[in-house]
Amino acid sequence: DVLLAIESTCDETAAAVVTRSGRVLGECIATQEKLHEQFGGVVPEIAARAHLERILPVIDTSLHQAGISGSDLQAIAVADRPGLAGSLLVGVVAAKSLAMAWQKPLVAINHLHAHLYACQLSQSRQPTTSPQSAGQPDSAPDSTSPSTVTTAADEKGDTSVYPAIGLIVSGGHTTLYLCRDAIDLTYLGGTIDDAAGEAFDKVATMLSLGFPGGVAVAKWAEQGNDSAFAFPRSMQHDGSYDFSFSGLKTAVRYAIVGPGRQDFSSLELTDDVKADVCASFEAAVVDVLVAKSRRAISEHGVRRLLVGGGVAANRRLRRQLTEAAQQDGFDLVIAPPELCTDNAVMGAIAWKKIDRGEFASLDLDITPGLQRGF
């Protein structure tokens, strides 16, 4: 039993061939980071065009690596939500076309549910980086020593994993869910402005650390003093499950230049100062994420926390969540570092939909999902 999963929600064009048991037979990721770097953020039109150029070679490469052809597939899965409209469209149109050509059922997956499903996938693999990738492959995400992470949940069945609280911390989302199983999730709260990853990227830009800058900020933070700057922990004690990171972003900006400083001068950005800014910023983000996750766990009486998305690769977050899990006695499952950022392997969640007979029709449309509460 093998399926092809396609991912094109943001700026990674990815495909993977995964078995029902979660084994990865083929995988290819083409990142667009170099294309967007000069803009300090993902430019939607550029992203869509790049997906269009890369999607077929990426699919070809993953099928070839798996040593199979379209006729061997049981289904074709594609993330149809949420994401950038133009980006989503390329993946969805490709998946529909192949489903039609190869006469295979189509499965639509929610990219955020897939980020959490990555918690159930454990293998470490080396994806093929498409020759069409602009520039060098991504450096590996900021990894953590395996001993600080509870082993990945067993793959025998959902019963052992759920119910759970799910925390998504990515470039576009910061969301807490109550998860009844892999695909039955209730939104508890989320960011009212910037996502955690977005805040990391903006701070990286302010300090000229490149884009996307989460990994760079985390690296600098390791050398810094996390109480050098008193940055705000917005909404930490407001009793909701919502988050806000734009005030923190502004506080960082004001610490570096202008009105936040009494003499309106700019900070001299020595290496020590950069490290202190990064450490103090990172601590502020992580404190709020950990506090709200803990409260969601205790208020819902569940015993497990699943964490996925690019920022889940952050070491400080992993460390503080591990400490919280030990203190509060819940089970922590964080996605493996290489499955935190966008990839198609987490599209293995499609098997859960196949098992329930939840297929999409060939007139499947995209759902960008821009509204809060998605």
Q: Which of 170, 191, 280, 343 binds Fe ion (CB under 5 A)?
A: 170
| Residue whose pair of structure tokens reads 């089970």 in the numeric block | 331
At closest approach, how far in Å is the CB of 31 from Mg ion?
A: 7
265 CB contacts (<8 Å, ≥6 apart)? none
CB 360 within 8 Å of CB 100: no
Do residues 231 and 284 lie in contact, with contact meaning Cβ atoms separated by under 8 Å?
Answer: yes
Q: How far is the CB of 262 from Fe ion (least distance, A)?
A: 40
Contacts of 218 (CB under 8 A, 6+ apart): 142, 200, 278, 282, 314, 315, 316
From edge to edge, which strands make up the β-sheet containing 164-169? 184-190, 174-181, 164-169, 304-308, 331-334
**C-beta of residue 80 within 8 angstroms of C-beta of residue 49:** no
Query: Among 88-96, 264-272, 311-319, 325-333, which window interacts with ligand ATP (CB under 6 A)?
Result: 311-319
- Which candidate, 128, 286, 157, 266, places its Cα nearest to that of 221? 286
Q: Which of residues 104-133 bind ligand ATP (CB under 6 A)?
A: 111, 115
Is residue 13 at the binding interface for ligand ATP, with CB under 6 A as the rule?
no
| Nearer residue to ligand ATP within complex by CB, 69 or 223 | 223
The residue among 189 and 214 lying less far from ligand ATP, judged by its C-beta, is 214
Q: What is the smallest separation between the CB atom of 212 and Fe ion, expressed in angstroms? A: 11
Convert residues 256-285 into a mask of x (bound to ligand ATP by CB under 6 A) and - (unbound). ------------------------------
Among 311, 324, 345, 350, the residue binding ligand ATP under the rule CB under 6 A is: 311
Q: Which of 30, 92, 313, 335 binds ligand ATP (CB under 6 A)?
A: 313
* 314 labeled part of a ligand binding site: yes
Could you give the CA distance from residue 105 to residue 103 in angstroms, rounded to a whole number? 7
Question: Is residue 144 part of the contact set for Fe ion (CB under 5 A)?
Answer: no
Q: Which residues contact 1 (CB under 8 A, 6 or more apart)?
A: 19, 20, 74
Reduced to 3 states (helix: H, G, I; strand: E, B; else coil), residue 276 is helix
Which of 96, 104, 113, 173 forms a contact with ligand ATP (CB under 6 A)?
Answer: 173
Told to check if 142 binds ligand ATP by CB under 6 A, we report: yes
Q: Report whether 298 belongs to an annotated binding site.
A: no
Sites of contact with Mg ion (CB under 5 A)? 11-12
Sites of contact with Fe ion (CB under 5 A)? 170, 342
